[in-house]
Amino acid sequence: MRACERLIRYAKVWTTSDEHSGETPSTGRQFDLARMLVTEMKDLGIEDARVDEHCYVYGTIPATKGYEDRPAIGLIAHLDTALDCSGENVFPQIHQDYDGGKLEIGNGKVLDPDMFPHLKTLAGQTLITTDGTTLLGADDKAGIAEILTLAQLLLEGSDDATLPGGCDVSGIPAGSTGVKIPHGPVCISFTPDEEIGGGAYLLDLEAFGAEYAYTVDGGPPNEINYETFNAASARFDIAGLSVHPGRAKGIMKNAALIACEVNSMLPSAETPQNTEGYEGFYHLFDMKGNVERACVRYLIRDHSAQQFEVRQKMLRLIEKTVNEKYGEGTCTLTIDQQYRNMEEKIEPCMHLVENAKKVMEQLGLTVDTSPIRGGTDGSQLSYRGLPCPNLGTGGYCFHGPLEHISAENMDMVVRILLGIVRCYAQK
């Protein structure tokens, strides 16, 4: 079965997480996909496939005979989909032999190469899109599909009896059966709640069993991410005082206006729509309130640990300034740490990046190691002691109705994963 066929099945399972839940998993519906995957893994021959009480899926592909002493390599993807757009009642659309031009996908939504130039590079491929009413969920059900397609290939083998040595994967067809491919132990896990920053907290590293790992949770297939944002969320709760507006002078404290004042104290250019590359930002993503009470919520991001601290100090200064102006207790700031830049934990293990680069180059790809303007489960896992860079899935425009991926890109990712596993099978 090709990876794209798996994605289409998985996409139809509603797995959106819930940031307000306080439970793990944050939504019980993530178990629906987890249990489906455990059944599929057992059918493939992964005998120890299981899901725990927190919706973490585990399974191991034992090393082929004679390769038991090779490093155990982990592959991780997440079950949940983002809250930004509905993930319920997803109907994937298949566009064979896409011509690289404008594509109407439904509900008035159009994929336009003038807006997304990469579409021209997908000409001739089979494009998988939404119907314009939901997201697709390739973030990260594509990663799951690619990992399990690799698992099938390792367990069933390849038709190519003259497999090239070393890391060379140029002669290996993805998704065929026959000759077994030598490999060390491969550890698989699918996690809940990555989209709300909780995907790696309860992953049992001892049960997982990997020495090194990769998340398969990125964009184009030539992508390797080992630099991420440092990330936190911040919330200002504003307490106002409501009185009749006709007699309000010197008495009223309008919480909604104070919330606007809080936002005005932040640098207006340092927002997601104005920044790129290594530039950090404050992202106002929720604002609500009235005269009596208001709440302003932000995402805080920066690649530099030092600048990340500066951003948090700025928020604390705003809290102090507002309370000095309007009275103690008017403004309450809460900062929750989410994840850190994995770079310092990956640098001592750069073979993870170099091996992935080597495989991609052998497959004719131009490698992109640009910093990811976000984070993955690997951000947390690297700081928990499991070095874990991120690989692409082959998809684009995640978290919205314009999300799309190509079947051929997914095949390429399977070949990349196979090449990496073979790298670690060599002495």
Closest CA to 425 of 44, 64, 60: 64
CA distances from 222 to 111, 359, 392 (A): 22, 10, 7
Question: What pLDDT, on the 0 to 100 scale, is given for residue 169?
Answer: 46
Over 50: is that where the pLDDT of 200 sits? yes
Q: What is the mean pLDDT of residues 348-358?
A: 97
Dihedral of alpha carbons 362, 363, 364, 367, sign? negative
For residue 319, the cross-strand partners are: none
Both tokens assigned to 304: 């530099």
Question: What pLDDT, on the 0 to 100 scale, is given for residue 179?
Answer: 67
Both tokens assigned to 136: 């697709």
Lowest-confidence segment of 17-21, 36-40, 135-139, 394-398 by average pLDDT: 17-21
> What are the pLDDT digits (tens) for 264-273?
999 999 999 9
Q: What is the pTM of this model?
A: 0.87
Rounded distance between C-alpha atoms, residue 395 and residue 128, angstroms: 9
Rounded distance between C-alpha atoms, residue 137 and residue 12, angstroms: 9
Question: What pLDDT, on the 0 to 100 scale, is given for residue 197?
Answer: 83
Query: What is the average pLDDT score of the chain?
Result: 93
Both tokens assigned to 323: 């309370």
Dihedral of alpha carbons 351, 352, 358, 361, sign? negative
Question: What pLDDT, on the 0 to 100 scale, is given for residue 180?
Answer: 78
Percent of the chain at pLDDT > 70 equals 95
Rounded distance between C-alpha atoms, residue 281 and residue 261, angstroms: 18
| Residues 294/238, Cβ–Cβ less than 8 Å | yes
Over 50: is that where the pLDDT of 165 sits? no
Tokens 């009235």 sit at which residue? 290
Over 50: is that where the pLDDT of 161 sits? no
Domains of the chain: 3-228+342-423 (3.40.630.10), 232-338 (3.30.70.360)
| Residues 288/226, Cβ–Cβ less than 8 Å | no
**Run of H or E residues at 308:** helix 305-326
Annotated catalytic residue within 18, 80, 377, 411:
80
Active site residue 194: yes
Confidence of residue 172 (pLDDT cuts 50, 70, 90): very low
Rounded distance between C-alpha atoms, residue 59 and residue 410, angstroms: 22
Over 50: is that where the pLDDT of 167 sits? no
Confidence of residue 389 (pLDDT cuts 50, 70, 90): very high
Active site residue 302: no
Lowest-confidence segment of 51-60, 161-170, 265-274, 399-408 by average pLDDT: 161-170
| Residues 413/393, Cβ–Cβ less than 8 Å | yes
Question: What pLDDT, on the 0 to 100 scale, is given for residue 176?
Answer: 47
Q: Please name the residues in contact with 63: beta carbons below 8 A apart, sequence gap of 6 or more.
A: 70, 183, 184, 185
Annotated catalytic residue within 18, 194, 223, 319:
194
Lowest-confidence segment of 218-227, 300-309, 374-383 by average pLDDT: 374-383
Rounded distance between C-alpha atoms, residue 82 and residue 17, angstroms: 7
Higher pLDDT, 337 or 174: 337
Lowest-confidence segment of 146-160, 181-195, 279-293, 322-336 by average pLDDT: 146-160
Confidence of residue 112 (pLDDT cuts 50, 70, 90): very high
Rounded distance between C-alpha atoms, residue 26 and residue 16, angstroms: 9
Q: Please name the residues in contact with 395: beta carbons below 8 A apart, sequence gap of 6 or more.
A: 136, 138, 139, 142, 219, 403, 404, 405, 409
Confidence of residue 53 (pLDDT cuts 50, 70, 90): very high
Rounded distance between C-alpha atoms, residue 52 and residue 203, angstroms: 10
Confidence of residue 11 (pLDDT cuts 50, 70, 90): very high
Q: Taking the CB of residue 146, how many other CB atoms lie within 10 A of it?
A: 33
**Residue 342 is which amino acid?**
M
Question: What pLDDT, on the 0 to 100 scale, is given for residue 174?
Answer: 46
| Residues 347/354, Cβ–Cβ less than 8 Å | no
Q: Please name the residues in contact with 259: beta carbons below 8 A apart, sequence gap of 6 or more.
A: 236, 238, 287, 289, 294, 295, 296
Peptide bond into 113 cis (omega under 30): no
